[in-house]
Amino acid sequence: MSRASQSAPARERIAQGFTKVEDVLYVGLGVVLAAGGVALLVNAVIHFVRSLLGGAIGPSVVAVLDQLLLILMIIEILYTVQVSFREHVLVPEPFVLVALIAGVRRILVITAEFGTLASQGESAFRYAMIELGLLTAMTGVLVTCLVGLRKRDKEAVAERA
């Protein structure tokens, strides 16, 4: 038996071992993300109910919306972990979606804080406008990427099971 033919089964066992370690890490990551998402949702509900009962719903809507969009990002990351665990491939679409949600989340927070930005001075307002412009451009690029991914390669878009 040649040395190359002896090393093939060893390489296969090592590769299988790494696949098992990868699966364990994916499961652990999924559990942590799911627990974090549930904790954030409970926190958002508690915050919303307290604001509603306290009559100060206006200012807290932005904070609750921010948390809900963060939960949505966690859901998309969890979906990415699920696809990676199930198919052992990285699919680009969920990453683009997470980036898109993060950008929209920041845009909503900035626009909701317009009233307080004016009182912080001209430079704070200017920086917020620059950030808003960059985020808007980034959102356009990400939407274009998402459309391109869906048109280019049906394999790049994972089906939700």
Number of domains within the chain? 2
Residues 43 and 63 in one domain: yes
Amino acid at 91: V
Q: What is the CA radius of gyration of the chain?
A: 22
Which of 62, 58, 48 is closest to 106 using CA atoms?
Answer: 62
Please state the separation of Cα 92 from the chain's center in Å.
12
Condensed to tens digits (0 to 9), the pLDDT of residues 19-51 reads 899 889 989 999 999 999 999 999 999 988 888
Percentage of the chain lying above the pLDDT 70 cut: 89
What integer pLDDT is reported at residue 130 of this predicted model? Answer: 93
Residues 104 and 85 in one domain: no
Condensed to tens digits (0 to 9), the pLDDT of residues 48-100 reads 888 888 877 776 777 888 888 889 889 988 888 888 878 777 778 888 888 99
Residues 81 and 104 in one domain: no
Model confidence, pTM:
0.70
Q: Is 62:109 a contact under the CB 8 Å cutoff?
A: yes
Domain boundary among 39, 70, 89: 89
Which of 28, 33, 25, 68 is closest to 48 using CA atoms?
Answer: 68
| Structural domain boundaries, residue 155 | 91-161
